[in-house]
């Protein structure tokens, strides 16, 4: 069962997790779908790199017992915003485009992580590419385009 993400503090910032497996990470509470699908967690690692993660549960699997492709793509869509967080700099954004290449299956219990880089950023558009892994094995290569639409206060 997923750990509970604390309720939002009323702003648009990620909520720090202080207990359990995800202590030291943060999670967003303003996106009901991502909270239901994940929840997905994020942090800046010791190398200054943005990383997103979650633990695969039975509810994330398809009828064949592997992680559902829609779950992988939902996670990747969330991860592009984690990866682009510095470029977003407090602005709200939407996904304009997303591509995904499925590389390997993932199973219940595996740690799913995504890392990547901003390929280009300028004005209101941010281009991101990344790789999701399951216990270190590549499972999904993804790229996305984010459009900044407004600032949040």
List the domains of the chain with CATH numbers: 15-151 (3.10.129.10)
Provide the token pair at 36.
């239901």
State the average pLDDT over residues 129-137: 98
Structure confidence at residue 8 (pLDDT): 40
Concatenated DSSP letters of the chain: -PPPPPPP-SSSSPEEP-SSTTTT-EE--S-HHHHHH---EEEE-TTS-EEEEEE--GGGB-TTSSB-HHHHHHHHHHHHHHHTHHHHTTEEEEEEEEEEEE-S---TTPEEEEEEEEEEEETTEEEEEEEEEETTEEEEEEEEEEEEEEE--
The token pair that represents 123 in the structure block = 């004005």
pLDDT at residue 7 in the model: 42
Per-residue pLDDT reduced to its tens digit, 98-109: 999 999 999 999
User: pLDDT tens, 4-62?
Assistant: 444 444 456 788 999 999 999 999 877 778 888 889 999 999 999 999 999 999 999 99
Which has the closest alpha carbon to 144: 101, 103, 95?
Answer: 95
Cβ(114)–Cβ(43) below 8 Å: no
pLDDT tens, 81-90? 999 999 998 8
pTM above 0.85, yes or no: yes
């Amino acid at each position: 069962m997923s750990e509970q993400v604390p309720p939002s503090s009323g702003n648009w910032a990620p909520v720090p997790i202080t207990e359990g497996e995800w202590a030291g990470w943060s999670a967003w509470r303003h996106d009901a779908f991502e909270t239901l699908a994940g929840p997905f967690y994020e942090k800046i690692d010791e190398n200054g790199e943005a990383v997103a993660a979650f633990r695969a549960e039975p509810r994330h699997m398809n009828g064949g017992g592997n992680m559902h492709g829609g779950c992988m793509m939902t996670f990747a869509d969330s991860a592009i915003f984690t990866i682009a967080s510095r470029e977003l700099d407090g602005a709200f954004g939407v996904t304009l485009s997303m591509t995904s290449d499925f590389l390997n299956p993932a199973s219940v219990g595996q740690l799913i992580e995504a890392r990547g880089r901003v390929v280009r950023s300028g004005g209101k558009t941010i281009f991101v590419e990344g790789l999701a892994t399951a216990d270190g094995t590549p499972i999904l290569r993804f790229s996305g385009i984010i459009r900044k639409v407004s600032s949040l206060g």
